[in-house]
Homo-oligomer: A and B are copies of this chain.
Amino acid sequence: MENFIYDNPTKIIFGKGKENEIGSEVLKLNKNKKNVLIIHYGTVDTNETELFKKVEKSLQAEGIQSIEFTGVKPNPRLSLVRKGIQISREKKIGFIIAIGGGSVIDTAKAIGLGVPFDGDIWDIYTGKAATQECLPIGVVLTIASSGSESSNSSVITNEDGWLKRSYNSDCERPVFAIMNPELTFTLPLFQTICGICDMMTHVMERYFTNTLSVDLTDRLSEGTLQTIIKNAPIVVKDPTNYDARAEIMWAGSNAHNGLLGTGRETDFASHLIEQELSGMYDIAHGAGMAVIFPAWMKYVHKHNINRFVQYASRVWNLNIDFENYEKTALEGIDKTEQFFRYLGLHTTLKELGIGNDRFEELANKCRLHDIQNETIGRFVKLKRDDIVSILRLAQ
């Protein structure tokens, strides 16, 4: 086990009707009643409008003024972030509420980081600058997926070049997250399954590691995956099943709040590859992960067959072939891919309408984990050629 710091102060307020308590919760953390920016997608969906009004009303009841801010799209855009920073400064915003999923929360984080930052917010995302200050952010979660509601990271897309970049800092972790599974009942099927894939890969990016002796973190990870595997098909068939939605929602937070990475090196090569993919082709992140992750597994599994056998056995309950461990490892990978397909996701680039003409460009765009050696990932350190090979496997 490696040394680690685990510091996850996001207060989780979980359950039916909890969004109605947001006013009093904000007041505790915003005693001077500074203006609140409420960010949401701004679609014509009546559920979303109703939820926004509920939040606005709950703040009003505590005497807190709020400003509505909308226009968030999937792969949230830098231009909107810049606009949000400007408005927040003008309106003297002291607290941000994000109503939505990862795109809204990450927009809120980028605005929260940008307001007190004396410089260009994009420099933070490209690694040219850093900051440890962020406006406090409260979340009303409506999409179980990114885990951004209690994570210390955010991802923003710059339309100029379609670069997608992330920033990690404990200062951007939301102060609270209100999680009412009922708010996900009306989520379109496609977004539901993309979210499920996203959270599964958050666990697996941490699970495939070279660090030995991480029993607890392994067991917690395997349990989280088993929970998702049991409940995802229920949610797909019966979208208003409260208990299954609740399991998926709670699993999604745990998948990405840091707990499942404690004591070990994590990988995240697939996320870096997919970030460029969804940046370049504007596809949903979860849809991209369903293609990239199985391809990555196939490409790297020989690096540690035992790890993949453990995964096949403990997560998928497959019988181990003691005369052919690799067969078992490959069965585990196949199960993963088949599960994504069963949910309704594509697992090839072709099915996403993406050709093989820009693989080199994508590989060259990828942000590197190790700049000196020009590699991404830690389980296996991948060079640009390896990235291209993975994309070919994903065709």
**Residue in chain B with minimal CB distance to A223:** B219
Interface range on chain A (Cβ under 8 Å from partner): 35 or more
Q: Is A334 an interface residue (CB 8 A)?
A: no
Given A2-B15, A14-B262, A16-B3, are A224 and B213 also a contact pair (CB < 8 Å)?
Answer: no
Residue interface mask A179-202, B partner, CB < 8 A = 1: 000000000000000000000000
Q: Which residues of B contact A223 (CB under 8 A)?
A: 216, 218-220, 222-223
Q: Which residues of B contact A243 (CB under 8 A)?
A: 1, 212-213
Segment touching B, from A39-47, A101-109, A225-233, A347-355: A225-233
Given A12-B6, A220-B224, are A262 and B250 also a contact pair (CB < 8 Å)?
Answer: yes
Q: Is A215 an interface residue (CB 8 A)?
A: yes
Q: Is the CB of A246 within 8 A of B13?
A: no
Between A3, A15, A215, the greatest number of chain B beta carbons within 10 A of the residue's beta carbon is seen for A215
Q: Is the CB of B8 within 8 A of A8?
A: yes
The distance in angstroms between the C-alpha atoms of A259 and B2, with both chains bound, is 22
The distance in angstroms between the C-alpha atoms of A126 and B220, with both chains bound, is 36
Q: Is the CB of B12 within 8 A of A9?
A: no
- Which of B4, B9, B226 is within 8 Å of A9, CB to CB? B9
Q: Which residues of B contact A9 (CB under 8 A)?
A: 7-9
Q: Is A371 an interface residue (CB 8 A)?
A: no
Q: Is the CB of A246 within 8 A of B5?
A: no
Q: Is the CB of A1 within 8 A of B246?
A: yes
Q: Which residues of B contact A219 (CB under 8 A)?
A: 222-224, 226-227
Residue interface mask A1-39, B partner, CB < 8 A = 1: 111111111011111101000000000000000000000
Q: Is the CB of A231 within 8 A of B215?
A: yes
The distance in angstroms between the C-alpha atoms of A380 and B213, with both chains bound, is 38
Q: Which residues of B contact A6 (CB under 8 A)?
A: 11-12, 14
A172 → chain B closest CB, angstroms? 16
Q: Which residues of B contact A250 (CB under 8 A)?
A: 1, 216, 262-263
**Residue in chain B with minimal CB distance to A8:** B8
Q: Is A254 an interface residue (CB 8 A)?
A: yes
The distance in angstroms between the C-alpha atoms of A6 and B6, with both chains bound, is 15
- Which of B12, B215, B231 is within 8 Å of A247, CB to CB? B215
Q: Which residues of B contact A2 (CB under 8 A)?
A: 15
Residue interface mask A255-282, B partner, CB < 8 A = 1: 0000100110000000000000000000
Q: Which residues of B contact A247 (CB under 8 A)?
A: 1, 213, 215-216
The distance in angstroms between the C-alpha atoms of A317 and B29, with both chains bound, is 46
A313 → chain B closest CB, angstroms? 12
- Which of B12, B215, B226 is within 8 Å of A230, CB to CB? B215
Q: Which residues of B contact A215 (CB under 8 A)?
A: 227, 230-231, 247
Q: Is the CB of A216 within 8 A of B11?
A: no
The distance in angstroms between the C-alpha atoms of A246 and B264, with both chains bound, is 13
Q: Is A251 an interface residue (CB 8 A)?
A: yes
The distance in angstroms between the C-alpha atoms of A323 and B9, with both chains bound, is 47
**Cβ contacts A to B, 9 pairs, < 8 Å:** A4-B12, A9-B9, A12-B262, A213-B246, A215-B227, A215-B230, A216-B254, A219-B222, A220-B224
